[in-house]
Amino acid sequence: MNISLIKVALRYEHDIVLARQRARTIAGLLGFNSTEQTRIGTAVSEIARNAFQYAGGGEVDFLVGGSDRPQRFMVRVSDRGGGLEELDAILEGRYISKTGMGLGIIGTRRLMDYFHIDSTPGTGTTVLLGKEIPSSAAVVTPQVLDRIAEEINRHTSQNPFEEIQQQNQELLVAMNELHQRKADLEAMNRELEDTNRGIVALYSELDEKAEHLNQANELKVRFLSDMSHEFRTPLSSILSLAKILSDRIDGDLSSEQEKQVRYIHKSAEDLLVLVNNLLDIAKIEAGKTEVHPEKFEIGNTFSTLRGMLKPLLVNPAVKFEFGETDGFPSMLTDEGKLAQILRNLISNAIKFTEFGEIRVEAETDPDSSEITFSITDTGIGIPPGDLDRIFEEYTQVDMPLHNKIKGTGLGLSLAKKLAELLGGRLTVESILGVGSTFTVSIPICYVSSAETVPKSMLPLPDVTRLPALVVEKILVIDDEEVGRYIMKGLLTDTKYRILEAAGGVEGLKTAAEQQPDIIFLDLMMPEMDGVETLMRLKADSSTCDIPVIILTSKVLDDAEQTALRKSALAVLSKESITREVVLVNIRDAVVRFAKPKI
Amino acid sequence: MDNIMDRIPILKMGQFLLVTIQVDMYDRLAMALQDDLTTKIVEHNSKGVLIDISSLEMVDSFIGRMLGSVASMSRMLDAVTVVVGMQPAVAITMVELGLSLSGVRTALNVEQGMSVLNGLVAHEVEGADYDSEE
């Protein structure tokens, strides 16, 4: 066991002197006589000089080996130089030094009892010197070592030159540490700079990506909106034509044909729901959806929903229950959108429940400003891992029942978006195989940054109390032949004469020449569109009194509706058009426009 | 660490130069002493150099070699070097180390060293005559 006494760093030439003086002092304190002290000092001087000269510096470590006699005074001189290449030659005395000394190592070996040199080219050299402590001296114990260390320090402070050297050594150590720390800091700084540059690069990349994503999203929204619109037009036609067929307007159908037509109608309706959902999502994403708050009672909404959804429930094993709504406050929010949310959730529950029950409940407490609706089913449930995904668009959870049921995966996504639009939120809890509970919380009062005034509904005229019809000629302006055909189909068996115009220009001409009683005008037309045609009709004195009913498959926002209503009598949607609607509107037109004339 | 003030003083005493090494010399200080001595020998046309190493407790191979070099150089510059006051332990160590300091005159102390120098110089001054005799 070696106990280290003191270390001397070899950085400058003076350190060689310090090392040999230390060696001599310690040897004296350990009980060596003066000749031995000189030998040890000289040996240390030789080896320390080698370390300094050939390796550029190193360290001298003074140790005491062994806890009992015989003890050894050991000196280890180590460096991190290039190592000795011809160590064997040196030890055998065959080596001739270029610097002319060549005595150091061999001479040192002669001066000491123990000498061991360990040198690896490239990693450095360690020389261990040792001399047995004379038996006349006291056994060196840790206490003795402490005393010696104290003595060395005291000895140092007695001599100002050595004191300075000592302090110099300490300074050197401190300086070296500082250098090391500075180097470390510089390295770290470089690393940080690199990291920083990397982060900046990543940021700009992310920015770019975000920009791309934004553009892609915008494109998607525009695409959805445009495509949905394009889809609605032919779909409306299919629906209307199927209706004409099933209403036997064009003659009787065989029972098989009737079934087929019913299927066509049903499929077209399904497709329309899908397209409408897509359009709704696109509109919400584009921020174009407007909320129309109205005052209404939850009970009424529930009964409407019950009426609407009962027919969907064809499975007798499933009960369909609505909870109590007595004593609930009236809500001031968009009833249509709330109904849409609930409808989506309920039809979803119906789809995935094979037996058991579906409960729709509403809850509120007096302090709360929200009403919480919950739709609980005993259906197949949702795997925990999919709970977050189900609100994403086009997501369908892979489940056995799903293979039987077709869906677009838009319903829940739309419901969630609508709930958020109304300032509420939609959450779900589900246990696989047991059932799911969807919870929607909607504020009782819709609060919007821009206050929207509830739209006053135009009361529909009472059809039974209308005066006799005085309409003879009806002009249909629509670029699509199907559209005109449908109008003709809807108005067969009436006394009206249908005039057709396949565009705005032709329509203006026909209107001026034929002076129809009512004009049905399409909005989306090539060349001259519906809005311009309408303006020109109203600008022309010969046609300005003719009532115009807009008939379009375009989904109009509030502003567009209001603008159109200034000049047009009514705005009808092509997809909801039926013979009754058309007739009611014609009568309405007569009632309103007959007044000033009569 | 270079310090120009860090020099071993060299005293001129008549024809001789007197150097008393009282500090443990680091290598460059030893080399500087060697340079200074040769310069002074030429400068003062000195005939002898006396180096007192009685304060030195250690003479390692480097300092030993320096002492040998000083002796050889001063001989070439027509001066004699005498090293005086070597401690016995130093002498033992030097021999064990393999340094024989051949060619270096020694004396036990300064006094004896001075008389050796005087004798040698006197001998050398009359050397021309003695040369033929020897």
DSSP sequence for A553-574 = SSPP-HHHHHHHHHH-SEEEEG
Q: Are the beta carbons of A49 and B60 separated by less than 8 Å? A: yes
Total count of domains within chain A? 3
Tell whether pTM > 0.80: no
In a domain, A254, yes or no: no
- Residues of chain B contacting residue A164, judged by C-beta atoms under 8 Å apart: none
**Same-domain check for residues A325 and A437:** yes
Given an 8 Å threshold on Cβ–Cβ distance, is B27 in contact with A20? Answer: no
CA distance B84 to B55: 10
How is residue B19 written in tokens? 């150097």
A134: domain CATH number is: 3.30.565.10
Q: Tell me, what amino acid is at A398?
A: D
Which domains does chain B show, CATH number per domain? 4-126 (3.30.750.24)
Q: Do B26 and A110 touch (CB under 8 A)?
A: no
Cross-strand pairs, A451: none
Chain Cα centroid distance, residue A145: 67
Residue A2, strand partner residues: A65
Give the separation between CA A373 and CA B79, rounded to whole angstroms.
119
Nearest chain A residue to B28 by CA distance is: A13
pLDDT for residue B116 is more than 50:
yes
Distance from CA of A21 to the nearest CA of B (A): 8
For B1, the closest of A14, A24, A42 (CB atoms) is A14
* Token pair 């089913």 in the structure block, residue: A377
Element (H, E) at B19: strand B16-20
Closest-CA distance of chain A to residue B134, Å: 36
- Is residue A174 included in any domain, yes or no? no
Q: Is residue A392 domain-shared with residue A439, that is, in the same domain?
A: yes
Short-list A108, A59, A49, CA closest to A79 = A59
pLDDT bucket at A453, cuts 50 / 70 / 90: very low
Q: What are the beta bridge partners of residue A60?
A: A8, A77
Distance CA B48, CA A28 (A): 37
Looking at chain A, the whole-number percentage of residues with pLDDT higher than 70 is 88
pLDDT of residue A268: 87
Query: Is A224 within a domain?
Result: no
- In this complex, the residue of A41, A103, A111 whose CB is nearest that of residue B57 is A41
Q: Two tokens at B6?
A: 């860090």
Q: A47: which residues sit within 8 A by CB, 6+ positions away?
A: A75, A77, A104, A105, A108, A127, A129
Q: Strand, coil or helix: what is B11?
A: strand
pLDDT (0 to 100) of residue A563: 81
Count Cβ atoms below 10 Å from residue A330 Cβ, excluding itself.
13
Q: Does residue A408 sit in the same domain as residue A327?
A: yes
Candidates A11, A21, A32, A42: best to mutate against B (most CBs of B within 10 A) is: A42
Same structural domain for residues A478 and A570?
Answer: yes
Q: Give B36-52 pLDDT, tens digit per residue.
A: 999 999 999 999 999 99
Interface test with A, best of B3, B22, B24 (most A CBs within 10 A): B24
Same-domain pairing of A400 and A327:
yes
Q: Model confidence over A161-205: pLDDT tens digits?
A: 667 777 777 788 888 899 999 999 999 999 999 999 999 989 999
- Rounded to an integer, what distance in angstroms lies between the CA atom of residue A85 and that of residue A102? 14
Domain boundary among A105, A135, A157: A157
Kindly determine whether residue A107 and residue B97, on different chains, have CB atoms separated by under 8 Å: yes
Angle at Cα A147 formed by Cα A141 and Cα A149, nearest 5°? 105
Read off the pLDDT of each residue in A223-237 and give the average, rounded to a whole number. 79
Interface contact A9, partner B, CB < 8 A: no
A496: domain CATH number is 3.40.50.2300
A38 touches chain B (CB under 8 A): yes
Q: A474 and A408, same structural domain? A: no
- Indicate yes or no: CB of A42 within 8 angstroms of CB of B60: yes
Q: Does B11 touch chain A (CB under 8 A)?
A: no
User: Which of these three, A106, A133, A157, is where a domain ends?
Assistant: A157
Same domain, A384 and A478: no
Instruction: Say how far apart CA A525 and CA B94 lie, in whole Å.
Output: 119
| A157, A175, A192 - which closes a domain | A157
In A112-159, which ranges are continuous DSSP H helix? 142-158
Residue A274 lies in a domain: no
Residues facing A117 on adjacent strands: A127
Query: Which residue type sits at A10?
Result: L
Both A467 and A576 in one domain: the answer is yes
Q: Which domain holds residue A296?
A: 291-443
A101/B62 CB distance under 8 A: yes
In a domain, A267, yes or no: no
In chain B, positions 80-99, which contact chain A (CB-CB < 8 Å)?
A: 87-90, 92-93, 96-99
Give the residue from chain B lying closest to A23, CA to CA: B58
pLDDT at A196: 92
How many interchain CB pairs under 8 A, A with B? 76
Q: How far apart are CA A481 and CA A524, in angstroms?
A: 13
Shared domain for A439 and A521, answered yes or no, is: no
Cβ A310 vs Cβ A269: under 8 Å: no
Residues contacting residue A375 through CB under 8 Å, at least 6 positions apart = A342, A345, A346, A349, A358, A359, A360, A437, A438, A440
Q: Residue B97: pLDDT above 50? A: yes
**Is A121 contained in some domain?**
yes
Same domain? For A92 and A16 the reply is yes
ipTM value for the complex: 0.83
Instruction: Please check the confidence at residue A460 and state whether its pLDDT lies above 50.
Output: no
- Beta pairing, strands A435-443 & A473-477: unpaired
Do residue A576 and residue A531 come from a single domain?
Answer: yes
> What sign does the CA torsion over A256, A262, A266, A271 have?
positive
Rounded to 10 deg, the angle between the A558-567 and A530-539 helix axes is 30
Q: Which of B1, B59, B89 sits opposite A35 (nearest CB)?
A: B89
Do A435 and A297 fall within a single domain? yes
Q: What is the mean pLDDT of residues A256-282?
A: 84
Residue B62 to chain A, least CA–CA distance (Å)? 8
Interface test with B, best of A38, A97, A105 (most B CBs within 10 A): A38
Give yes or no for A131 touching B (CB within 8 A).
no
* Residue B117 pLDDT exceeds 50: yes
φ/ψ of residue A517, rounded to 5: -80, -35
**Poorest-pLDDT segment among A74-83, A246-255, B101-110:** A246-255
Contact assessment for residue A443 and residue A370, using Cβ atoms and an 8 Å cutoff: yes
